[in-house]
Amino acid sequence: MKNLLLTVAGIVFGITVCAQQTKTYAEKLGWPKGARVIILHVDDAGMSHESNEGVEKAIGDGVATSTSVMMPCPWVPDFKHYMDQHPGIDAGLHLTLTSEWQNYRWGPLAGKATVPGLVDKEGAFWPGVVAVYFHATADEIDKEIRAQLDRALTMGFTPTHLDSHMGTLFAKPAFLEKYINLGIEKKIPVMLPGGEDLFYRAEAKNATIAQLKKDGKYTEGMTIPEPAELNKVRELGELVWKGGLPVLDDLDNSSYDWVMPDIEKATDKELQKWYTDHYIENFDRFSPGLTMVLMHCTQPSPQFKNICNEGQKRKGDLLAMTDPRLKAYLKQKGFILTTWKEVMERRVKAGNVE
């Protein structure tokens, strides 16, 4: 999850090493120079009842500002009923092309006959991104993400943005093209970190160093090159902007890979402190611009362990988002919290600003 733009054989668009652009996308969208603007975004609404409760608490009782819904999953109607009761909620589509859990699975809305390359031997989506990369065609990807948008619209749910579950749509240029084209065609913002990506680049470097150390191949002071595949993001950002959509300056999706020692034994108080500390550490490193922060807030029940073994990790995200200490920190440091809805409204107002 951490290496959202680094998945699958290095064929992903990402960060450029050229000179910094004159303005951040946040500035182009009308925020002042130097502003650190963040979307605190909760993935996986609709995946389970526990996921829905986590989203509702993180936004309703905490500082989270946005979410996105996994339309093929069984708990989508429950979350739609919540949205009906809270019409101001900022909710997009977590476009879903994988079904990663062993005993709790879902399949394509377009149907196996229409998208056979997206279906495994159990009739569900493939468990991982690599299998989608090798089995699915770009046309199948296009049919499925359109089917997911169609279900949302049929339910009376107009998404504020599009993003990608497990980063699958970033796995291959042809997949990414379908994703971007759908957003531009329908005038729905797409999650794309198309700016300088200073935080994300630093995280990618840290991840590379961690792997080298794990493999016993790291030498102190060795040069860690920028991944060669991360050289198209600025061009893509400009394409998306010219298509009338907003663009992110940076992305933080690192919490999914945090490893809290003895997390299964941790109390809620210990979880909250550890996760809040780590979020604050990350936010301190943010540069000016518009940054999207991805997380997976969940209120795990005893049943949730039968879905996956990440209940404590996801609960840590939730406890951080509802921690008064985090709220006070964000206010003290002058962070501006926003939503995809506001970002798109600002993009329309910005017009042809370059």
pLDDT at 199: 86
Judged against a pLDDT cut of 90, whether residue 210 lies above it is answered with no
5 inside domain: no
How far, in Å, CA of 185 to CA of 25, rounded?
Answer: 21
pLDDT at 212 over 90: no
Amino acid residing at 333: K
Question: Is residue 329 in a domain?
Answer: yes
The pLDDT tens digits of the residues spanning 296-331 come to 999 999 999 999 999 999 999 999 999 999 999 999
Sign of CA dihedral 273, 274, 277, 279: negative
Residue 116 has pLDDT above 90, yes or no: yes
Please give the Cα distance from 255 to 261 (Å, whole number). 14
Q: Whole domain around residue 65: which residue ranges? A: 25-352
Is residue 8 one of the residues assigned to a domain?
no
15 domain residue, yes or no: no
Task: Note the pTM of the prediction, 2 decimals.
Answer: 0.90
Q: What pLDDT sits at residue 204?
A: 77
Work out the pLDDT band at 232, boundaries 50, 70, 90. confident
**Residue 102 lies inside a defined structural domain of this protein:** yes
140 has a pLDDT exceeding 50: yes
The per-residue pLDDT for 227 is 53
Predicted pLDDT at 20: 46
Q: Does 131 map to a domain? A: yes
CATH number of residue 30's parent domain: 3.20.20.370
- The residue count of the chain comes to 354
- The reported pLDDT for the residue numbered 220 is 87
The rounded mean pLDDT for the chain is 92
Number of domains in the chain: 1
pLDDT, tens digit (0-9, with 9 covering 90-100), for 250-261: 999 999 989 999
Average pLDDT over residues 183-189: 98
**Distant-in-sequence, close-in-space partners of 277: CB < 8 Å, separation ≥ 6:** none
Alpha-helical runs (H) found in 71-128: 76-85
* Residue 319 half-sphere exposure toward CB, CA atoms < 13 A: 20
Beta-bridge partner residues of 292: 39, 251
Task: Kindly state whether residue 9 falls inside one of the protein's structural domains.
Answer: no
Residue 175 lies in a domain: yes
